[in-house]
Amino acid sequence: MYNVRKIEENINMRGDFQGTFLYDQELAPRTTFKVGGKAQVLVEPATMESFLLVLESLKSLELPHLVLGGCSNVVVPDEGIDYPILSTLGLDTISFSSDKNLLHCGAGCSWKQVIDFCLEHRLGGLESFSGLPGSLGGATFMNARCYDASVSDVLEQVEYGQLTQDESGQWSASLQTYKMKPTDWDYKVSPFQRQLADCPVLAVTLKVRSLDEAEAQEMEKKAQSFVADREQKGHFSYPSAGSVFKNNRDFGKPSGKIIDEAGLRGLELGGAQVAPWHGNFIINRGQASASDIQQLVQRVQEEVREKTGFFLEPEIIFLSRSIKT
């Protein structure tokens, strides 16, 4: 077991850290599923420089860690998490380059912050993401998709943290820039799941377009319609993580439809339930545990496979209590 206070001391020795340290932190309120236990220590840097300091420190202490943002697509185990959590939510600044029509956003920005900024400054192109929960860092990592638009469709570049080791064995963290390359991306797949898997997303630059007053009003109507559609579909009726399973084009129909046809809509296990109105949603009816959700996901997978031969791939990520080194 590591000494949680030693992490803070080590970081402060390395430079001027800006941010917060939270000990014995409840994680459930930070997640959209509202389940899970505590983290022994959660560090939330307020600047990218401070984020890099934390990366260096954790690596030098040989401590595995996990980077989390808006926690809209994760399930925290009931028994909590033993390893340090590094949060991106303190990285929440937004700026606009009018000469290039580019929006620069910290990884911790929520989509609401981004859409509100666009509405205020008459910027279009991102309205399809209105009402999407979570942070931009997580959406980039997952290559989030909604209303026929993926993050990769509007992405210009990503700034990320990278660790390197010198000849003497010392670790250092630096800020690197990834330039958009379409072949690195696919349906809900990004290079930050693959070749850049150990490199946390710290900032995202998105392509937008300037609008005149009439176009801005139309954009606002579209944004509101997408939020209203999510509300009508019950996205915000109960704690959930949105779509549980990825769609597979080889199956010939959406995963939600497959689950519906298997007669699983409304299926309950403990406090978790397949939403009565949508087969690809699992909701927390108020008293669900992380274990309830995981077992229900497995039950749906098993029954769908038995009835159709299809294996549904989860989109949500189940975190483990410990990280094996």
Residues involved in catalysis: 243, 315
The CA distance from 40 to 1, in Å, is 11
The CA distance from 306 to 6, in Å, is 50
| Coil, strand or helix at 244 | coil
CB 63 within 8 A of CB 169: no
User: How much of the chain is helix, strand and coil, in % rounded to 5?
Assistant: 35, 30, 40
DSSP summary character for residue 170: -
Residue listed under structure tokens 């038995």: 306
Residue type, 275: A
The CA distance from 300 to 20, in Å, is 40
What Cα–Cα distance (Å) separates residue 16 from each residue in 47, 60, 107, 128, 237?
11, 17, 21, 39, 43
CB 138 within 8 A of CB 73: yes
What Cα–Cα distance (Å) separates residue 206 from each residue in 148, 154, 184, 188, 263?
17, 6, 17, 17, 41
The CA distance from 53 to 284, in Å, is 37
What Cα–Cα distance (Å) separates residue 85 from each residue in 22, 39, 63?
10, 7, 11
Residue 257 CB burial class (10 angstroms; 0-12, 13-18, ≥19) = middle
